[in-house]
Every structure is written in structure tokens, then in C-alpha cells.
């Protein structure tokens, strides 16, 4: 017991020191105050609205929910399948590398301390439950703040949502650590991979059979996965049943599946403690690798080419010219190493191939156009995230970028030229075959690639502003969420709502995307103007 008290005291000291660091710079409190204000505003507004709701409003909402019951069932099944895929991916990932609960500071301090290895491992596994539950609760409170007047959230419902996701996230770590420890003794990874392959085939069958038996494939594909009996499926089904407490209010199910999670967690932790043995050497290796990857990200040493498919091939690419075009040539070479062709490589063909399959299925009435439309919106969000994740922005602070004899607009254009070409090529390869096969509106061939490009440039601009415009890492960490929130609330969300309004009026998806394009054009123009001003000042900041 004294050993656990010692470990707890160490964490309390770390927490107190972090709080002191925050209060030394009060500006770092702004993101937290913004989140608290946002949640408080919507929850207060939702409470006032719930007091003023009439019976007619409640009846109208009930009628709408009845009309979309079938679609909600399909969404439930789709989310369940997505959770199953995440679970299998995490288990498959566990067969590739070990998991570590520690940092290098923990390793250097704890592994040399007079504390039993089993107690250290047990404490850190239990401690990982706190951020899992706390993060899940904050996440659900944040995303449901604006719709609280419809969900009527209370402490019990928030607790149910936090437990459903938090326990699911928490239990993955003991499972992966147990697989690693068992593999060191019994070499079970080949067996685990075979089981995952078999389970993937069974999951496909569970979707295929009810879909083929239904009148329309898309109406029956989730009949089994979305059914109530699937609530008893370990982990994924348990979490889904706990989330559905928001709808059915079944306290017995919530308590029962929470108890199942607790019992399984105790069993896994007990097995980990039994089979872990002297795990210091293995944990030290994985922890060191994790810390090195973090340092590479912080120092901008990780580039897109780090995950390239063609890194070992010898390239012979002639120079494109002098001046700022050298930046385009540099990106072209990196793009050639990232994929088999810098403009249309394997990743592009995969994305376009998925759209082609969905178009064929909708052509033969196996799926509706809604699935294809949803995939297009998903691609737009993926490219926005890709823009946010741009990693070579630190080059703008280097002397070779500043000393290139060209205008700042020319430098910026050559810096993003290849990205623009890649985005447009992907958009055209995705939408043109889909328009021809699924007989969609021809206007999508022009609007979708443009919308894809606008979202990518907006994400790219946010990443550039935070990485180039601010020197301190703490400032970048705090300012970036504020900029993203501002762009979302005053740019992306209004543009999305204008697209929804255009879609409701016209009943045409193409006009919905057009409305989004109009709004995003203004957002992107503002962000590009801002980054051009920042780029032009880089030389004076670095001098």
C-alpha cells in the first residue's frame, strides 16, 4: 500500500507543477475558458428552451423521429461496424509493436526505485482509466452542448456516455499488453492474426447475408449488426448498449454491461500481472521508440515521405528551372518517394476506387446515392485534416526559402502547386466516373474538386499560421485550437449550414455543395490573405 501511495504522491507533485506553469502565463487559460463558456452557454440556452417547449413542439419532434427511425437503425449498424473495424485494427496493430504506459522520465525514475515491478504496472494501468473516462466525458459534453435541448442530458446520461467510450478505450491497453506478454512466451501472434482474418470474414458475411435477403441491399445490410441481440457482443456491443441508455433509460442494462467491463478488466489486469514477469527491458525499448517519434514531430523531422511507398527507388528527375520553381521540384521529388506517382498514386486510386464501387452499387440499386454522397463529404473532411497535418511548414523559416530570388507570392505558389494538382486530380478521378455511372448531376464534376481544394487550403492555412506565425511551442498548442474553433464557428459551420439550406430548398445534392463552395470561398480567401502577410514577414522575424 505504501508503494501505491508513493506513486500517487509523485503524480500529485507533477499535477501541481503543471498547474503552476499554466498560471505563470494566464493567456494559456484562454482555450479552457473558451470551452467552458461554449458549454455553459449552450447548456443554459438548452435548459431555458426546454422550459418553453410546448406539447406541439414535442409532438412534431416525435413525428420526425418516427419518420427517420429506419435511417437511425442503419446509422446505428454503420457505427457498430466502424467500432468493430477499430477494435480489429487495434488488435492487429498490437501484433506489430509493444504498448507502453510510461514515458522516459517514468522509466528513469521508477525502474530504479525500490517499488515492485508488478505494482508499478498495476498502478499505471489503473491510472490510464482516469484520462480515458475524463476525456470521454469532456468530449461528449462538448459535442452535445448545442443539442442538449433535444437530448435533455443529466449527470447519469453523461456518466453513461463517458463509461461506454472510456471503458472501451481503457480496456484496449491491457488487451494489447497481454497479447505482447503472451507472445514473448508462447509466440501467439500468428494465431491472433488468423483469428482476426476469420473474424473479418464473418463480419462481412453478417453484412452480406441480410443485405441480399432484403428487398434493397442497403436497407438490410445492418439488420444483424444493428439488432438488439448484438448488444451482448463483447466490448463493442457493450459500449453501444450503454450509449443507448440516452434513448431507452434502461438502468439495468447500463449497470450490467458496466459490471461486465469491470470484471473483464480485473481478469485482464490479473493475467497481465501473472505473465508480465520482468518486463523492464521490453518496455524500455518501446518507450524509447515512442519518445524518439515525439521528438521528431516536435523538431519537424517527420515528413510525408516518412510513410512513403517508394522511398528506396532511385529517382532521376530533371530540374524544372531556377528560382522559386525549385520549391515545386523539391515537393515533386518528395511526392515521387511518397507514392508511385506524385500526381495519381496508389492512395489516389484507392480513394477513387471506393467511389467507383459505391457508384456501381447505386447504379444497380444495391445502395442509395446517400452512401456515395456521404463518402464525398467524408473525403472533404479527410482533406481538411490532411491540410492541418502538413509537416514541412518549418521549411519556410529556413535560409534557403528566404534567400530564393523570387517574390513571396511566387514562393508560396510553388510551395503548394503540387498539393493543388494532387487534390484536383483526386477530385476529378473520384467524381467524374461516379457522375457517369450513377447518373449524378454533371455539376458535381466541377463543384466537388473545387470544394475539396477549398477545404484543403483552409486546413493548410491554419497549419501554416500556427507553425510559422508563432515561435513558442506552447503558443502554437494554445493558439491552434482557437484558430480552428474560430474557422469552424465563423466559417465552416455557416458554409455547411448554407449548403444544408440550399439542399433543403432544391432537394439537389449538387446545390448543397454549391452553397458550401460559396461560403468556403470567402473563408479560404481570408485565410490565404492572412498567410501571405505572415510569409512576407518571415524574413524580418528570422533576421
pLDDT of residue 261: 94
pLDDT of residue 7: 86
- Indicate whether 91 pLDDT > 70: yes
Domain check: are 188 and 224 in the same one? Answer: yes
Q: How far apart are CA 258 and CA 252, in angstroms?
A: 10
pLDDT of residue 173: 85
Q: Among 74-78, 277-281, 310-314, 425-429, which stretch is predicted with the lowest mean pLDDT?
A: 310-314
User: Which one has a higher pLDDT value, 363 or 101?
Assistant: 363
Q: How far apart are CA 85 and CA 80, in angstroms?
A: 9
CA dist 501 → 449, 476, 508 (Å): 21, 35, 11
Q: How confident is the model at residue 64 (pLDDT cuts 50, 70, 90)?
A: very low
Domain check: are 198 and 338 in the same one? Answer: no
pLDDT of residue 61: 46
Most confident of 131-140, 240-249, 296-305: 240-249
- Indicate whether 198 pLDDT > 80: yes
Residue-wise DSSP of 484-527: HHHHIIIIIHHHHHHHHHHHHHH--HHHHHHHHHHHHHHHHHHH
Domain check: are 360 and 466 in the same one? Answer: yes
Domain check: are 285 and 320 in the same one? Answer: no
Domain check: are 115 and 210 in the same one? Answer: yes
Query: Residue 295 corresponds to which cell in the numbers above?
Result: 521528438
Is 4 part of any domain?
no
Q: How confident is the model at residue 454 (pLDDT cuts 50, 70, 90)?
A: very high
Max CA separation in the chain (angstroms): 73
- Indicate whether 153 pLDDT > 50: yes
Is 58 part of any domain?
no
Is 336 part of any domain?
yes
Q: How far apart are CA 158 and CA 371, in angstroms?
A: 31
Query: Residue 82 corresponds to which cell in the numbers above?
Result: 466502424
Total structural domains within the chain: 2
pLDDT of residue 453: 93
Is 80 part of any domain?
yes
Q: Among 229-243, 321-335, 445-459, 500-514, which stretch is predicted with the lowest mean pLDDT?
A: 321-335
Name residue, grid cell 522559386.
Answer: 324
Answer whether 308's CB lies under 8 Å from 338's CB.
yes
CA dist 148 → 6, 68, 140, 270, 450 (Å): 42, 20, 11, 40, 35
Q: Among 288-297, 339-348, 401-410, which stretch is predicted with the lowest mean pLDDT?
A: 288-297
pLDDT tens-digit map of 6-19: 888 888 988 888 77
pLDDT of residue 215: 74
C-alpha dihedral, 484 to 490 to 493 to 497, nearest 10°: -170
- Indicate whether 192 pLDDT > 80: yes
Residue 285 half-sphere exposure toward CB, CA atoms < 13 A: 5
Range of the domain at 436: 316-540
Domain check: are 454 and 491 in the same one? Answer: yes
pLDDT of residue 406: 77
| Distance, C-alpha 155 to centroid of its chain | 27
pLDDT of residue 54: 46
- Indicate whether 65 pLDDT > 50: no
Q: How far apart are CA 503 and CA 514, in angstroms?
A: 9
Is 69 part of any domain?
no
Domain check: are 333 and 270 in the same one? Answer: no
Sign of CA dihedral 423, 425, 426, 428: positive
- Indicate whether 278 pLDDT > 80: no
Domain boundary among 274, 290, 306: 290
Q: How far apart are CA 379 and CA 452, in angstroms?
A: 8
Most confident of 253-267, 292-306, 330-344, 503-517: 253-267
Q: How far apart are CA 16 and CA 426, in angstroms?
A: 49
Q: How far apart are CA 372 and CA 374, in angstroms?
A: 5
- Indicate whether 92 pLDDT > 80: yes
Is 180 part of any domain?
yes
Is 308 part of any domain?
no
Residue-wise DSSP of 177-191: HHHHHHHHHH--HHH
User: Which one has a higher pLDDT value, 214 or 380?
Assistant: 380
Residue-wise DSSP of 116-157: -HHHHHHHHHHHTHHHHHHHHHHHHHHHTGGGHHHH---HHH
- List b or e across 39-60, with b for residues whose CB sees 16 or more CB atoms inside 10 angstroms: beebbeebeeeeeeeeeeeeee
Answer whether 174's CB lies under 8 Å from 126's CB.
no
User: Which one has a higher pLDDT value, 180 or 277?
Assistant: 180
CA dist 408 → 1, 75, 420, 537, 539 (Å): 63, 48, 18, 10, 10
- Indicate whether 343 pLDDT > 60: yes
Domain check: are 277 and 410 in the same one? Answer: no
Is 210 part of any domain?
yes
Domain check: are 263 and 364 in the same one? Answer: no
Domain check: are 325 and 275 in the same one? Answer: no
Domain check: are 268 and 321 in the same one? Answer: no
Q: How confident is the model at residue 424 (pLDDT cuts 50, 70, 90)?
A: very high
At 396, give phi and psi (nearest 5°).
Answer: -70, -20
The pLDDT of 414-425, averaged and rounded, is 89
Amino acid at each position: 500500500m505504501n508503494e501505491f501511495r508513493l506513486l500517487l504522491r509523485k503524480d500529485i507533485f507533477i499535477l501541481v507543477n503543471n498547474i503552476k506553469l499554466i498560471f505563470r502565463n494566464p493567456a494559456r487559460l484562454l482555450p479552457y475558458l473558451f470551452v467552458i463558456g461554449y458549454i455553459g452557454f449552450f447548456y443554459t440556452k438548452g435548459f431555458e428552451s426546454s422550459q418553453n417547449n410546448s406539447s406541439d413542439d414535442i409532438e412534431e419532434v416525435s413525428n420526425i423521429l418516427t419518420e427517420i427511425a429506419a435511417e437511425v437503425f442503419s446509422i446505428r449498424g454503420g457505427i457498430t461496424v466502424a467500432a468493430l473495424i477499430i477494435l480489429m485494427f487495434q488488435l492487429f496493430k498490437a501484433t506489430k509493436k509493444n504498448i507502453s504506459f510510461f514515458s522516459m522520465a517514468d522509466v528513469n525514475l521508477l525502474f530504479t526505485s525500490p517499488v515492485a515491478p508488478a505494482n508499478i504496472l498495476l498502478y499505471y494501468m489503473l491510472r490510464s482509466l482516469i484520462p480515458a473516462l475524463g476525456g470521454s466525458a469532456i468530449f461528449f459534453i462538448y459535442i452535445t452542448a448545442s443539442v442538449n435541448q433535444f437530448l435533455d442530458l443529466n449527470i447519469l446520461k453523461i456518466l453513461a456516455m463517458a463509461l461506454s467510450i472510456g471503458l472501451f478505450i481503457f480496456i484496449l491497453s491491457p488487451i494489447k499488453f497481454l497479447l505482447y506478454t503472451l507472445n514473448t512466451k508462447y509466440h501467439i501472434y500468428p494465431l491472433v492474426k488468423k483469428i482476426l482474418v476469420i473474424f473479418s470474414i464473418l463480419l462481412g458475411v453478417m453484412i452480406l447475408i441480410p443485405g441480399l435477403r432484403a428487398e434493397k441491399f442497403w436497407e438490410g445490410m445492418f439488420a444483424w449488426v444493428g439488432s438488439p441481440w448484438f448488444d451482448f457482443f463483447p466490448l463493442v456491443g457493450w459500449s453501444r448498449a450503454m450509449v443507448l441508455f440516452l434513448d431507452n433509460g434502461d438502468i439495468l442494462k447500463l449497470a450490467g454491461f458496466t459490471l461486465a467491463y469491470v470484471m473483464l478488466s480485473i481478469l485482464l489486469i490479473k493475467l497481465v500481472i501473472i505473465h508480465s514477469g520482468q518486463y523492464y527491458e521490453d518496455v524500455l525499448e518501446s518507450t524509447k521508440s515512442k519518445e524518439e517519434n515525439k521528438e521528431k514531430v516536435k523538431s519537424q523531422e517527420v515528413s510525408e515521405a516518412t510513410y512513403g511507398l517508394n522511398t528506396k527507388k532511385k529517382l532521376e528527375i530533371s530540374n524544372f528551372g531556377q528560382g522559386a520553381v525549385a520549391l515545386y521540384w523539391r515537393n515533386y521529388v518528395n511526392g515521387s518517394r511518397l507514392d508511385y506517382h506524385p500526381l495519381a498514386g496508389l492512395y489516389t486510386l484507392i480513394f477513387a476506387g471506393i467511389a467507383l464501387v459505391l457508384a456501381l452499387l447505386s447504379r444497380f440499386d444495391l445502395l442509395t446515392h446517400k452512401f456515395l454522397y456521404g463518402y464525398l463529404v467524408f473525403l472533404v473532411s479527410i482533406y481538411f485534416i490532411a491540410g492541418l497535418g502538413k509537416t514541412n511548414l518549418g521549411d519556410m523559416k529556413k535560409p534557403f526559402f528566404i534567400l530564393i530570388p523570387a517574390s513571396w507570392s511566387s514562393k508560396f505558389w510553388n510551395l503548394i502547386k503540387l498539393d493543388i494538382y494532387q487534390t484536383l486530380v483526386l477530385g476529378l478521378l473520384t467524381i467524374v466516373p461516379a457522375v457517369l455511372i450513377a447518373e449524378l448531376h454533371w455539376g458535381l464534376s466541377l463543384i466537388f474538386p473545387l470544394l475539396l481544394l477549398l477545404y484543403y487550403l483552409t486546413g493548410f492555412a491554419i497549419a501554416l499560421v500556427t507553425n510559422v506565425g508563432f515561435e513558442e511551442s506552447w503558443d502554437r498548442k494554445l493558439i491552434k485550437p482557437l484558430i480552428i474553433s474560430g474557422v469552424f464557428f465563423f466559417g465552416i459551420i455557416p458554409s455547411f449550414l448554407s449548403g444544408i439550406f440550399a439542399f433543403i430548398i432544391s432537394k439537389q445534392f449538387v446545390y448543397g455543395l454549391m452553397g458550401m463552395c460559396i461560403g468556403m470561398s470567402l473563408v479560404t480567401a481570408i485565410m490565404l490573405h492572412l498567410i501571405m502577410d505572415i510569409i512576407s514577414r518571415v524574413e524580418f522575424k528570422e533576421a
